[in-house]
């Protein structure tokens, strides 16, 4: 049964208390996390095209949510995105990610973005690093259910 992944109240991507943020809710099951998003003109890069930087932010968030859903507190170490097709503002998008490998302090993930027809728009991989106990305590103060 899917469950909602923890959120940071002021996060640009998922924060419910960020007045200029996206306020996305992420669900998870097993090593998988996902969300849906319908952009509008505020999210435009070129005319009629969803801004690639915002796509990157959502991909980063869905991949880290896959780790957070497993109780792994980590931060982004590196990320790669491959844009495959333009993302038209008129589409609704599905973002999905999986934890693919855990190696010591490094968590490897893969993510994807598809449009409402299932067409692949972007794919990504990332490495996240678990944090020190002191940093974990600080980050835990940011999280809410």
pLDDT per residue as tens digits for the range 10-50: 899 999 999 999 999 999 998 899 999 999 999 999 999 99
- The number of beta carbons lying within 10 Å of the beta carbon of residue 34 is 20
Mean pLDDT of 130-138: 90
| Top-level class of domain 3-139 | alpha beta
Q: What is the average pLDDT value for the chain, to the nearest integer? A: 94
Say whether pLDDT at 138 is over 60: yes
- Cα–Cα distance between 95 and 51 in angstroms, integer? 15
Three-state DSSP string of 24-74: CCCEEECCEEEEEECCCHHHECCCCEECHHHHHHHHHHHHHHHHHCCCCCE
* Predicted pLDDT at 145: 44
pTM of the model: 0.95
* Predicted pLDDT at 137: 86
Sign, CA torsion 65/74/81/53: positive
Q: pLDDT tens for residues 73-111?
A: 999 999 999 999 999 999 999 999 999 999 999 999 999
The band of 141, judged by pLDDT with boundaries at 50, 70 and 90, is confident
* Predicted pLDDT at 6: 87
């Amino acid at each position: 049964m899917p469950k909602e992944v923890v959120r940071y109240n002021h996060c640009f991507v998922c924060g419910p208390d960020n007045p200029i943020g996206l306020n996305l809710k992420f669900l998870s099951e097993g090593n998988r996390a996902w969300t849906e998003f319908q952009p509008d003109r505020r999210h435009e890069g070129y005319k009629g095209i969803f801004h690639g930087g915002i796509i990157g932010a959502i991909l980063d968030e869905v991949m880290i949510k896959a780790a957070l859903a497993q109780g792994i507190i980590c931060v982004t170490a590196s990320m790669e995105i491959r844009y495959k097709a333009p993302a038209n503002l008129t589409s609704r998008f599905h973002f999905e990610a999986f934890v693919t490998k855990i190696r010591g302090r490094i968590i490897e993930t893969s993510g994807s973005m598809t449009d409402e027809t299932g067409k692949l728009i972007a794919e990504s991989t990332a490495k996240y690093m678990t944090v020190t106990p002191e940093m974990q305590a600080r980050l835990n103060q940011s999280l809410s259910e």
